A and B are shown apart, each in its own frame.
Chain A
Amino acid sequence: MTKDGFGMMRRISNVNGWTIGSVLIIILLFVPNLSIVTGIFTPPSENWAHIQEFMLLGYIKSSLTLVFFTAIFTIVIGLSLAWLIAQYDFPLRNFMKWALILPLSIPPFIGAYTYHGILNYTGIIQKTLRNQFDITPNPAFFDIMNVPGAIFIYTLFLFPYVYMITRIFLSNQAASLIESARTLGKSSVDIFFKVVLPISRVSIIGGVSLVILEVLNDYGVVKYFGIQTFSTAIFQTWFGLGDLDSSIKLAASLMGIVIFLLVIEWVLRGGKKYSFASTKVRPLPLVKLTGKKAVIATSYTLFIFTVAFLIPVLQLLDWFVLTFGKVPMEEVLTYTKNSIIVAGTAATLIILFSLVIGNFSRITKHKFGNVLPKLTILGYSIPGAVIAVAVVTTFIAIDRFLAPLYLSMGLDSALILSVSLVMLVSAYIIRFFAIGYNSIESGYAKIGTDFRDASRMLGVSGFRTFFKVDIPMMKGAIISGFILTFVDILKEIPLTLILRPFNYDTLATKAFQYASDEKIMEASQASLLIVGVSAIAIFVFHKLLREEPE
């Protein structure tokens, strides 16, 4: 072997275990999605010709309509709230500052059926109008089971993404710019349009792209409202027509749209990456509002908070009390336990995998080590429906491959993995990996490599160092990564509905099922549990763990 060859071997042997582990995990995360790409090239079925000719344009149109208007409204609401909270002081401001994030704890499909319940013929509003005021309004007026209704729901429960990211940016990063504009005697309106809007562009786009991905991912709202979008079409083609090949093609088209939007996002950001880092910089001094202005500011924030959080939660509580005892306790316990088990397993695995890949990316001297993790983040951009198709295709292929083994083991079924929880957990891991990884990665960035180096210089191997030094120092990142991932999985709908084993219910599927069966009240128990757990997690995370200086 040449001298160079030996040098090469020396180099390779250096990061061995971590490299192999990382590559394996990334293959696991990435390969199922490739099945979508290969699906494009399979010969089209008759259905596909029909879908392409008569339906595809409609799916594209309704998906893009939902995306477009939701984006506009979440920007208007999110940005205006962020600006108010970041710049002004008014009654209830400190409460509103984090309370306005709480709507995120209500999954849009729960918000959708709750508002439908409030507004429908037997709902509190029409009933009050009829009984107290003897008014019988045109029911169509209160019908929200349509595209504008879905936009309303998405806006209410997704605007906090824009609000949160923009507010942190405005109150931390933009202070000096806004201050200097103030000293130049610009009016608030001028400052808003000439300074705030342009400088927050990157963070607004960062927030709104999360909103858009959520809308494209959504299945619960559109299914419940009976709106045809890509998500619903993918499942309908698959189960209604039994045509997996065509639904793979639909999934590929949706992925094309997502990639197109991601490219637009990248161009709009000018290649700059919005960083969530809350570096402690001088906060913006608040301008105190008084009189009419203060009343307007408080009323506006209070109104949004009421509509997007208070009303749905109160309605859920009301139904909960009304139906208490109707749903057997045993059932509640079973699906709560199921939720905790699957979400807990997936979140734990995500954190473990993130620790391996994050460590690899941290210690490797290869450029490759920085690119690799980026691939895994992609999963979060891929809508649940697409991942569901990808995972099922992959698992069926694996089952086919393993069929001789099953036979030799005396198992009488040809499908083992593809009907087990393994499939659902794998899908969760692919979809939510980025959430856990972000947290772990920033944890690693915070501790750096000095402690690791110090430990090795004391004669402790890299592997032992990982457990004795790195892991204990990463505790905060591990816990918050786990909480965020766990909560997101708890709320998940399309993957869970499609990939769960037969008769296996979680909080989310149960809530969805009851609501779909028009047993809205019975759905309230499971929904409240989801909302409660999410709200606590959000509160802990934003109020306690990430509190910025004021």
Chain B
Amino acid sequence: MVNTVLEVQNITKRFPGVIANDSISFKLNKGEIHALLGENGAGKSTLMNVIYGLYKPDEGQIFINEEAVEVQNPHDAIARGIGMVHQHFMLVPVFTVLENIVLGSETTNGPSLNLRSPRKDIQKIIDQFNLDIDLDTITEDLPVGIQQRVEIIKALYRQVDILVLDEPTAVLTPQEVDDLFKIMRSLVDQGKSIIFITHKLKEVIEIADQITVIRRGKVVGSAKPDEADQQSLATMMVGRDVDMHLHKKKAEPKEMILEVNNLVVKDANGNVEVDDVSFEIKAGEIVGIAGVQGNGQTELVNALVGMIPTESGTVKINGLPATNASPRKVTEMGSAHIPEDRLKDGRVLPFTIADNMVLNTYYLEPFAKSGIRQQEEIKEFAVDLVEKFDVRTPSAENTASSLSGGNHQKEIDAREFSRPINLLIAAQPTRGLDVGSIEYIHHRIIEKRDEGCAVMVVSTELDEIMELSDRIIVMFNGKIIDTVNADEITKEQVGLLMAGVTA
């Protein structure tokens, strides 16, 4: 017997200039993992925010357990059994796991906080779903994947039956993804239902029971994972054939662009994050930096572009000293930097998209003349980039914060690709992008290489590293554990290196 726990009917949500959801209908059955697929800006997050009570739909109806409801706000959503795990967690870093879970629904004994009976209840949930977590650890000490688990437990503790996971795998390591999938399975096996958003088609086929595809605010199709393959899903999503394999000619490395010698970087607490790293990148080659998140790649990039100071060692760009150069100096030496954390670095969310498009060139002609900003030039430039990179927005003068997750990324990519450069340092350049956009960005990266640019790609996606790189540097524990030519190594071998296993 099929039991529909959540149904949305003809949901329409408009923003100024866009119809984010255009009469969307779909059903979530009990015990089902329902994957939502769609291009960047298709309207997936908007729909979830409507269901979770963050947005009021302009039209349409929501049914929970076949009863029409109006979800007023997230509180209301939770009370009706709907929980949502956001990608950026809303946890208090210095609280213990237990404190974070009860936060917002504390019980008290007189004036003091009662943690004993919640602890019992929470432990029961942990055992029931095999969540495996220590309730007394300080939250900030936990890896991202486990913090996400805290969010899931938090929702379960509030007795939700429906869990919305909006791109939960975007920042997880492959191992963490596996763990998450086990948890998701265990949840649906015991009667919970899950809406799962991702751009990784492989994951959809692996975990989903039902797939709904959205394009430009409309449902354009649905599929069962056993009848679908990645290629067909991609086509349905983007509305055209997507070439999932990259074709590139052999690299022809030329002059030296980036030279890094014995670089050491420490964090604020004095821990060594980058440990005596030396490598070089020549014009016309793509070097991929592979590694599990947290093995020094972030700090390496930040030190190279001048965001954090180095401890010792030297950096040269185009043969010129660039150790501890300021971000502006590095930019002016002809490099571009796509930062890893697209919401925090490299963007000002309340600014317009146009202003963000010139964030690091605002002071140069033609965007400014003798200290006066040239609004028209800026806007023209931005409108062009918006079109070229297919940033989905009704206007370049909308605030950057109105963009969808993937379009945030496209906006940064567009800006950094827009200048003449000879060094491109790209950290997670396709995180959160749909397959069509990934294809586009990958082509631009290869185009830059072929124009004679030195490219450094940092990615936790092994597939991306394998596809793009001419050479691969694997980092482990802050050190370079190996440097290999991409066509002489298999994905499995790189995977082993990433885990610190040397032959």
A binds B: no
